[in-house]
Amino acid sequence: RKEVEQDPGPFNVPEGATVAFNCTYSNSASQSFFWYRQDCRKEPKLLMSVYSSGNEDGRFTAQLNRASQYISLLIRDSKLSDSATYLCVVIGMTYNQGGKLIFGQGTELSVKP
């Protein structure tokens, strides 16, 4: 089983749609969680961190369910510019965890006019 697994995608949605991405992680001791965005042929960039209480940034809402080891990202009112691959990221738990990110394989989103 992969340490971090995401919806396989791709997701093709019309502008204005609401879309949700799901991610599960295998290590129950993991402490830090993130969503990164990667545009085609570009580097990943941090979209938002994910907190236990959930957090929202404009049209984006991230949720964490520790009991189910599940992370979600909700995008409301999708824009064409939201088209990208969304990467679920978990901080790996080994010695001195120090920023060792473990990436899911990514879920591609394509927003159409």
Residue 61 touches another protein, criterion: CB under 8 A: no
Beta carbon of residue 1, minimum distance to another protein (angstroms, whole number): 14
Q: Quick check: 21 and 78 in contact, CB under 8 A?
A: no
Residue 100 touches another protein, criterion: CB under 8 A: yes
Q: Considering the complex, state which of residue 36 and residue 78 has its C-beta at the smaller distance from another protein.
A: 36
**58, 67, 81, 99: residue in contact with another protein (rule CB under 8 A):** 99
Beta carbon of residue 44, minimum distance to another protein (angstroms, whole number): 5
Exposed e or buried b per residue across 23-60, where buried means at least 16 C-beta atoms within 10 angstroms of its C-beta: bbbeeeebeebbbbbbeeeeebeebbebeeeeeeeeeb
